[in-house]
Chain A
């Protein structure tokens, strides 16, 4: 599951691969005149190339915590290091040029073309024009927008989804090892959001950045995250683990309430059909066939819709590899389901 995303260290150009380790130690942010700290003694170690989701209700301090990493907000105390370097001792502007930053409102500059928007950080880093131009073109390809068509356009001429892609491309421009993303897909409609999420996962599998991704949408966290930090007030970590582990064994009632109903179904969505031992194919040709890259949830969905006993799994050529029955679904999550939060 999550391993399939973090373990793929062979794809992508060598220069754009890999992230940096981030460590926050006892980070606190207290605003003067407020009785309680916004973030209190927050400690976390994030491995290189890991996509960590901060999930929590509005006002829990998750965004504040993230913004202390690039010092948009200065911590009151504690230390933050990126690859062992203390960010609080660096020049904040220089630091930020090496950390990708994507915000919910996107914040594309309306008076600059798409190419100029993407070139902001390369220009700050004084790249040559040729290098910048080449990078802009490469990034537009990366986010699947045709450079010939989009480079010269202005943000207002783009749809919300396209603008958000440019926002991600702009953050990636100087190939930063670390990305901070503050509800980047929060303002898009559900269909666009799902598309952007899928693209983002594909992208991350290529570039392997270390990413802190803030969201209040637990399903988004499950879908995207290598690990999820469920946060409560003052950015207290209630649980920090893989999506599967959190779904199968929530640490406490707070986490359980955050997961909401249908934890078993959410877990099925994390398991590819090929991860279970398939039974023999159905004896009769059936219309209930899912592709081999589907998840157990897709397979179960089909099974429920068609009302059959089993669902076949076919490879990309259409050859049937095997089949799944109701028991296979239960078995796949059975061990953990007995912990009884479903």
Chain B
């Protein structure tokens, strides 16, 4: 078994820098695409169920149960249907994003003070308009926190998507796993893992900025 050396890692990184950057971008892309889809679906479900006790409980419970399915198992189930590559990866990531996004949407909408909703209704706003123009903007800081949690969750899970030939840094982690004992096994696994962590940190920092910019000015503290 080859011993780990920093010199070896340095050579490994310099030879594969373009490859690594490419994988990191793929990883980011699959996460962002999934988040965008998950936000539309999750916020949509939240808007539909926030004020209906039974659908609310059902969707929150379902999303919570979904999160307990091991990602490998889900990908194994999806790939016979959706094949390999992006499709099963995106579906899986959307699936795991549901709980934080739906839950925070529901919580955010419910936390808008009742008197504000009453003032809006009392001025003749329709229910839909109150929901979209008053409640959603007021709930947005909480909703975006849910999306941020989903981002952290999916960056990690996206690494597993390499199992079904999905895009991203998971490729290196699986390469390392499958070539244990070879010269570069540890370098592959280490590079994949560290890059995933770094990506997570960068995305989290970006969310601080996104949250601020997408929150109505009057709500910014």
Bind each other: yes
The residue that B138 contacts in the complex, of A72, A103, A111, A120, with Cβ under 8 A, is A111
The residue that A105 contacts in the complex, of B115, B216, B217, with Cβ under 8 A, is B115
Residues of B within 8 A of A120 (CB): 120, 123, 125
Q: Are B124 and A112 in contact (CB under 8 A)?
A: no
The residue that B119 contacts in the complex, of A103, A111, A113, with Cβ under 8 A, is A103
Residues of A within 8 A of B116 (CB): 105, 107, 109
Interface of B, secondary structure class, is helix
- Check A109/B123 contact, CB under 8 A, given A72-B118, A155-B218: no
The residue that B122 contacts in the complex, of A70, A94, A155, with Cβ under 8 A, is A70
Q: Give a binary string over A246-260; 1 marks a CB under 8 Å from any B CB, 0 the rest.
A: 000000000000000
Q: Are A111 and B219 in contact (CB under 8 A)?
A: yes
Is A101 part of the binding interface, using a Cβ–Cβ cutoff of 8 Å? yes
The number of residue pairs between A and B whose CB atoms lie closer than 8 Å in the complex comes to 70
Q: In the complex, which residue of chain A has the Cβ closest to the Cβ of B221?
A: A156
Is A96 part of the binding interface, using a Cβ–Cβ cutoff of 8 Å? yes
Q: Which of A72, A95, A109, A111 has the most CB of B within 10 A?
A: A111
- Compute how far the CA of A94 lies from the CA of B113 in the bound complex, rounded to whole angstroms: 24
- Compute how far the CA of A103 lies from the CA of B120 in the bound complex, rounded to whole angstroms: 11
- Check A72/B122 contact, CB under 8 A, given A109-B134, A111-B137, A111-B219: yes
- Check A110/B118 contact, CB under 8 A, given A93-B125, A124-B123, A156-B218: no
Residues of B in contact with A (beta carbons under 8 Å apart): 113, 115-116, 118-126, 134, 137-138, 216-219
Ordered by A's residue number, 5 sampled pairs between the chains whose C-beta atoms are within 8 Å are A103-B118, A111-B138, A111-B216, A111-B219, A154-B218
Residues of B within 8 A of A108 (CB): 119
The residue that B124 contacts in the complex, of A121, A156, A170, with Cβ under 8 A, is A121
Q: Which of B115, B118, B124 has the most CB of A within 10 A?
A: B124
Q: Which of B118, B121, B125, B218 has the most CB of A within 10 A?
A: B218
Is A97 part of the binding interface, using a Cβ–Cβ cutoff of 8 Å? yes
- Compute how far the CA of A142 lies from the CA of B66 in the bound complex, rounded to whole angstroms: 57
Q: In the complex, which residue of chain A has the Cβ closest to the Cβ of B126?
A: A93
- Compute how far the CA of A101 lies from the CA of B118 in the bound complex, rounded to whole angstroms: 10
6 closest A-B pairs by beta carbon, nearest first, are: A107-B119, A111-B216, A97-B124, A154-B218, A96-B124, A101-B122
What's the minimum C-beta distance from B32 to chain A, rounded to whole angstroms?
26
Residues of A within 8 A of B115 (CB): 103-105, 107
Residues of A within 8 A of B121 (CB): 72, 96
- Compute how far the CA of A31 lies from the CA of B26 in the bound complex, rounded to whole angstroms: 59
- Compute how far the CA of A95 lies from the CA of B125 in the bound complex, rounded to whole angstroms: 11
